[in-house]
């Protein structure tokens, strides 16, 4: 089998846009796989999915400060860019471009202060917010962002929607592929694209799990072997809840309690456990429509998310 060619690495916004437009002028379609780097098999599955839909693939590698509040883990987010390139090249067809901008919020003025701002007057701010010439335009998907992860991370989805909008405007893809492990994020991006008439088809790719069943995440590297073993209670309890629902247990309170209990008994701390409508993300009391059971839980200092769709 022929070796996969190394992708072109583009760091400049204008150059990225120029590349996309020149490819489209040649009749080529473009797929975008947005990532924050430190790639794992879950990310590589998104690249493989993108190859099914477009001629050319762009993988963005950018740790987005806009989705972190000052007390979150931006500075400790893992990074291995050289390793990311090798992993991308391990996928049949690889990627044509890796878009690796330095700072999508640097506008060449006094702009953004280097120091993270602390919570001011009780209002959570993003790391990139600043007075004067700082970034101040944000995209919000009001209702879908409020529940689940939005409760404990109030600027997270605002930052995600904004940076994805920026990436769409810079890369100008025909298709974008997102992992369904981040289920709320996937639904928010789909709604944003619908509401703002982006000419992008958003595809959700299924969760990729390790051999032990743990959903793949860049944060898994921070789990000790003992914590990882305990964290398996998330996927195991979700699977049991799905099986129970398929056997007729449709009371959501009882299903939620069973999962919460299993995670607590394993030593985890539940952030949320919600059974919601797959489209609206509104909580349901009984499973009468397609739902998704979404979990966020802490094991040690690592916050993990997972979910399981239930289609009766």
Quick one: average pLDDT of 120-134?
69
Kindly state the percentage of the chain with pLDDT values over 70. 93
Instruction: Specify the pLDDT at position 97.
Output: 98
pLDDT at 305 over 70: yes
Report residue 274 as tokens.
């919600």
Residue 198 phi, psi dihedral angles, 5° rounding? -65, 140
173 — pLDDT class (breaks 50, 70, 90): very high
Q: Are 231 and 219 in contact (CB under 8 A)?
A: no
Instruction: Specify the pLDDT at position 3.
Output: 63
Instruction: Specify the pLDDT at position 138.
Output: 95
Residue among 26, 22, 21, 31 at smallest CA distance from 53: 31
Instruction: Specify the pLDDT at position 121.
Output: 52
pLDDT at 81 over 80: yes
pLDDT at 208 over 50: yes
pLDDT at 25 over 70: yes
d(CA 171, CA 310): 35
Residue among 229, 190, 237, 194 at smallest CA distance from 212: 229
Which residues on neighbouring strands pair with residue 202, listed in sequence order?
176
Give me the active site residues, please: 43
113 — pLDDT class (breaks 50, 70, 90): very low
Quick one: average pLDDT of 15-31?
98
Report residue 56 as tokens.
């050319």
Quick one: average pLDDT of 192-212?
97
Q: What per-residue string of b and e applies to 89-105 under the rule 16 or more CB within 10 Å gives b?
A: eebeebbbbbbbbeebb
Instruction: Please report which helix (H) or strand (E) contains residue 205, including its range.
Output: strand 201-205
pLDDT at 232 over 70: yes
């009371």: which residue's tokens?
251
Instruction: Specify the pLDDT at position 92.
Output: 96
Instruction: Tell which wins on pLDDT, 203 or 1.
Output: 203
pLDDT at 104 over 90: yes
d(CA 262, CA 268): 9
pLDDT at 119 over 50: no
């059971």: which residue's tokens?
293
* Sequence-ordered strand ranges (E) for 23-70: 30-35, 56-61
Instruction: Specify the pLDDT at position 2.
Output: 56
Report residue 213 as tokens.
């069943």
């Amino acid at each position: 089998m022929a070796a996969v060619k190394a992708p072109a690495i583009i760091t400049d916004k204008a150059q990225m846009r120029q590349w996309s437009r020149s490819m489209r002028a040649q009749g080529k379609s473009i797929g975008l796989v947005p990532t924050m780097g430190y790639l794992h098999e879950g990310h590589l599955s998104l690249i493989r999915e993108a190859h099914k839909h477009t001629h050319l693939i762009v993988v963005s590698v950018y740790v987005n400060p806009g989705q972190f509040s000052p007390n979150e883990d931006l500075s400790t987010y893992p990074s291995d860019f050289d390793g990311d390139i090798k992993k991308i090249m391990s996928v049949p067809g690889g990627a044509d471009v890796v878009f690796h901008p330095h700072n999508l919020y640097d506008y060449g003025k006094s702009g953004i202060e280097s120091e993270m701002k602390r919570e001011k007057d009780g209002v959570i701010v993003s790391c990139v917010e600043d007075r004067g010439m700082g970034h101040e335009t944000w995209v919000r998907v009001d209702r879908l962002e409020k529940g689940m992860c939005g409760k404990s991370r109030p600027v997270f989805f605002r930052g995600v929607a904004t940076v994805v909008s920026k990436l769409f405007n810079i890369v100008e893809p025909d298709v974008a592929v997102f992992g369904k492990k981040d289920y709320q994020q996937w639904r928010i991006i789909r709604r944003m694209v619908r509401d703002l008439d982006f000419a992008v088809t958003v595809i959700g790719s299924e969760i990729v799990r390790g051999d032990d069943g743990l959903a793949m995440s860049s944060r898994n590297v921070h789990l000790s072997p003992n914590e990882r073993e305990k964290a398996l209670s998330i996927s195991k309890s979700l699977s049991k809840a799905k099986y129970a629902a398929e056997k007729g247990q449709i009371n959501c309170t009882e299903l939620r309690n069973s999962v919460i209990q299993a995670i607590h008994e394993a030593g985890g701390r539940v952030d949320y456990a919600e059974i919601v409508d797959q489209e609206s993300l509104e909580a349901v009391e009984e499973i009468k429509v397609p739902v998704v059971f979404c979990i966020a839980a802490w094991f040690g200092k690592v916050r993990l998310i997972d979910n399981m769709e239930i289609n009766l």
